[in-house]
Amino acid sequence: MPSGKVLDEMRRASGALAAVEDAEAARSVEFAKWWLDPAIPTKVKTFMTITARVQALADRCPTWRPNYAVITNAAAFAGVSVQDIKPGGKYFDTFADMLVGMKKGSETESREEACTTAKKNYGEASGR
């Protein structure tokens, strides 16, 4: 049986892990609420998610040449204009938050993993 000191340390580690899991669960719930909120059309949310992910991967993988046609196509599909995501635009604040969140999330990926994901999921610009 572990000593009292070891048990205390195990309890502390267990509590710390539970706190991390609780925080992750809370973030998941917030994302789900946002996704289900009808104030922003689902197509627009899809555009913001794709665009933020492409930008985060581009920042993480300096050798990748993004195929920005993916973003252009997503914007057309969603009916989003450049004015909508510029400062003062109707989706700017939400889009800016999405960019920050996606960049933070990509920090857990290795550069190699980010590059592989980028090329596989979003293609690469041709020529140069």
Within 10 A of 106 (CB to CB), how many other CB atoms are there? 21
| Section 95-105 average pLDDT | 92
pLDDT-derived band at 127, boundaries 50, 70, 90: low
**Rounded to the nearest 10 degrees, what angle do helices 42-60 and 4-36 cross at?**
130
Residue 103: what pLDDT?
93
Residue 6: what pLDDT?
82
C-alpha distances out from residue 45 to 23, 59, 120, Å: 23, 21, 22
Q: In one letter, which amino acid is 120?
A: K
Q: pLDDT for 54-98, tens place per residue? A: 999 999 999 999 988 888 999 999 999 999 999 999 999 999 999
What is the overall mean pLDDT for the chain?
90
Residue 22: what pLDDT?
84
Q: In one letter, which amino acid is 101?
A: G
Q: Looking at residue 21, what DSSP letter applies?
A: H
